[in-house]
Amino acid sequence: MNLIYKGQALIIDECDLDILESYLCYWHEDGYLNVSNPDNNIKCAGIHRIIAKRMGLSLLGQIDHIDRCRYNNSRINLRSVSIQQNKWNYGKGKNNSTGYKGVSLRKTTGKYQAYIKKDGKRIHIGYFNDIVEAAKAYDVKAIELFGEYAGTNF
C-alpha cells in the first residue's frame, strides 16, 4: 500500500498499518522511518525491523531493503542478511561521478573502467569505450560474485 506518512512516501502492507498507530513514529534524518514504544521497552527501531520480527526473520544481522528504497517497507522487499551481504546490495556512492556503480572514467585514456570490490580487494573488470557497457560488465561480475545480494545498475 502506497501512502504519504508525515510528508514522506511510504510503502507498507495493510497487515502492518497498525504499527503507525501503535508506536510513536518519526522520520529520521537518514531516511528511515523509526518507531518507539515506551510501553514495550522499544526505545528506537526502524519500522523495517519491527515488520521483519513480525515476519519471523532473524534480527541477528541486518534487515535489507531488496530494492534499496528505505521507504519501501513491504514484506516482499525485506530480508535478513549479514552485514557483508547488505554491503553488496549498496547503491552507488554519493560521490559517484559517472552515475553508475563500479564505473569510473580514466582521464588518461578517456575510457570507462569497470571494477568491483570483494573482501576489501578491488577487482579490475575491464576498460570500455561506452559507459553503459562498463556498467553492464559490472552487473555481470556483481551477480557472479554476490548472487541475489548483488546491487546492480540495471
Same domain, 74 and 99: no
Domain of 27?
Answer: 2-81
Lowest mean pLDDT among 2-6, 70-74, 110-114: 2-6
Going across the sheet that includes 121-128, the strands are: 103-106, 111-118, 121-128
Same domain, 99 and 57: no
Same domain, 96 and 70: no
Same domain, 101 and 72: no
The total number of structural domains that make up the chain: 2
Same domain, 76 and 14: yes
DSSP string, the chain: -EEEETTEEEE--GGGTHHHHHSEEEE-TTS-EEEEEGGGTEEEEEHHHHHHHHHT---SSEEEETTS-TTB--GGGEEEE-HHHHHHT----TT-SSSSTTEEEETTTTEEEEEEEETTEEEEEEEESSHHHHHHHHHHHHHHHHGGG-----
CATH number, position 133? 3.30.730.10
Report which of residues 113 and 42 the model is more confident about. 113
96 belongs to a structural domain: yes
Domain end residue (candidates: 38, 57, 81): 81
pLDDT value for 93 = 83
Q: Enter the pTM of the model.
A: 0.84
What's the whole-number mean pLDDT along residues 57-68?
Answer: 96
Q: How far apart are the first and last CA of the chain?
A: 25
Under the banding of pLDDT at 50, 70 and 90, the label for residue 39 is: confident
Same domain, 56 and 25: yes
Under the banding of pLDDT at 50, 70 and 90, the label for residue 42 is: low
Single-letter residue type at 134? A
CATH number, position 22? 3.90.75.20
Contact 27, 8 (CB under 8 A): yes
Is pLDDT of 97 > 80? yes
- Computed over every residue of the chain, the mean pLDDT equals 94
86 belongs to a structural domain: no
What is the per-residue pLDDT across 108-151, written as a single tens digit (0 to 9) for each? Answer: 999 999 999 999 999 999 999 999 999 999 999 999 999 999 99
pLDDT value for 58 = 96
Same domain, 54 and 97: no
